[in-house]
Amino acid sequence: MLQIEHLCKSFGGVAATRDVSLGFPAGSLTAIIGPNGAGKTTFFNLVSGHLRPDSGRVVFEGRDVVGLSSLEIARRGMARAFQVASLFPSLTAREAMIAAVTAHQRRSWSLLRRFPLDGSRAKAEELLELLGLAGKADVMSSSLSHGDQKLLDIGLALAMEPKVLLLDEPTAGMGPDERWRMIEKVHHLWQAKRLTMIFIEHDMDIVFKYAQVVQVLKYGAVLAQGTPEEIRRNQEVIDAYLGTDHHLALAEEA
């Protein structure tokens, strides 16, 4: 589905991404972990077309998408949600979802009919239901709780009917309970939509519980990759990243 080959990017001499090669098979659920500054968000920006890599290929469904704009890449079926929810503050959740669906259906220019269009509305309601936002659909986006804003942000990405979804820290800024609720919803989405999903996450418990595959980045390069079991036992990862407090204990247990 998505194949990254020898991706490199540096900012003024500082290498943010060094020769990263990764594969994401269709329908997989992959977590990307790594200490702060490991280049995780940069990696997403490179893959989604927000940044242009210095070298390397991003092969999406058999085609190299490097050089395409972020919009073109999104239209081909690779969408992303942002670390800080990027919403439309003065629209309600429902209006925002419908408008996003309308945009994806290329009916934004429709002037002679009233908002919402039937087709767009049905699709948006379905997504709101899936996200568990149906009950809050008439709340202004700016008044939604932090977690619901992150969900709506994911919902806007889903409006583009992606095959691959990149989630940049879906649980950022949440308390422990809220994190688990959020990741359960994300997991549910992955199952319901049969997506290829890649998410950045800091909470190791979450990563080990939900991810099929874990990729560890450090200083912009791939440090290790494998199943949660393998990563847990990987001595390099333990030294570099997990080597503190209870994660060490976890590793020993395993």
Partner 1 sequence: MRAGLMRDLLVAMLGLLLLLALPMVFPQPSLRDFLIYVIAYGLLAMSLNLLVGLTGLVSFGHAAYFASGAYVFGLLMQSGAVSIPLAMLAAVGGTALLALVIGAICVRLKEIYFSFITLAFQMFIHSIILTWVDLTGGDQGLRGGIPRPPFLGIDLGEAHTLYAFAAVIFVLCLLVMRQVWQSPFGYTLRMIRDNPARANFLGVNVVRMKLGIFVLAGAMASMAGIIMALFVSGAFPEFGFWTTSGEAIFMIMLGGTQVFLGPVAGAFLLQLLNHYVTIYTHHHGLVLGVVILLIVLGLRRGVADFAAAWLAERRATVPPAPATPEPVKTKAAG
Burial bucket for residue 115 (CB in 10 Å: 0-12, 13-18, 19+): exposed
Shortest distance, position 122 Cβ to partner 1, whole Å? 13
* Identity of the residue, 108 or 191, whose beta carbon is nearer to partner 1 in the bound complex: 108
* Residue 101: CB atoms within 10 Å: 27
| Stretch near partner 1 under the rule CB under 8 A, chosen from 17-25, 28-36, 37-45, 177-185 | 37-45
How far apart (Å, rounded) are the C-alpha atoms in residues 197 and 249? 29
Shortest distance, position 97 Cβ to partner 1, whole Å? 11
* Identity of the residue, 113 or 245, whose beta carbon is nearer to partner 1 in the bound complex: 113
Count of residues near partner 1 by CB under 8 A:
54
Shortest distance, position 81 Cβ to partner 1, whole Å? 9
* Residue 142: CB atoms within 10 Å: 12
176 near partner 1, rule: CB under 8 A: no
* Identity of the residue, 71 or 254, whose beta carbon is nearer to partner 1 in the bound complex: 71
31 near partner 1, rule: CB under 8 A: no
How far apart (Å, rounded) are the C-alpha atoms in residues 72 and 65? 9
175 near partner 1, rule: CB under 8 A: no
143 near partner 1, rule: CB under 8 A: yes
181 near partner 1, rule: CB under 8 A: no
Q: Which of 28, 30, 45, 171 binds partner 1 (CB under 8 A)?
A: 45
Shortest distance, position 229 Cβ to partner 1, whole Å? 30
Q: Binding string to partner 1 for residues 75 to 114, with x set by CB under 8 A, is what?
A: x----x-xxxxxxxxxx---xx-xxx-xxx-xxxxxxxxx
* Identity of the residue, 109 or 244, whose beta carbon is nearer to partner 1 in the bound complex: 109
Shortest distance, position 20 Cβ to partner 1, whole Å? 17
In the complex, the residues that contact partner 1 under the rule CB under 8 A are 41, 44-45, 48, 50, 70-71, 74-75, 80, 82-91, 95-96, 98-100, 102-104, 106-117, 120, 139-146, 149, 156, 159-160, 168
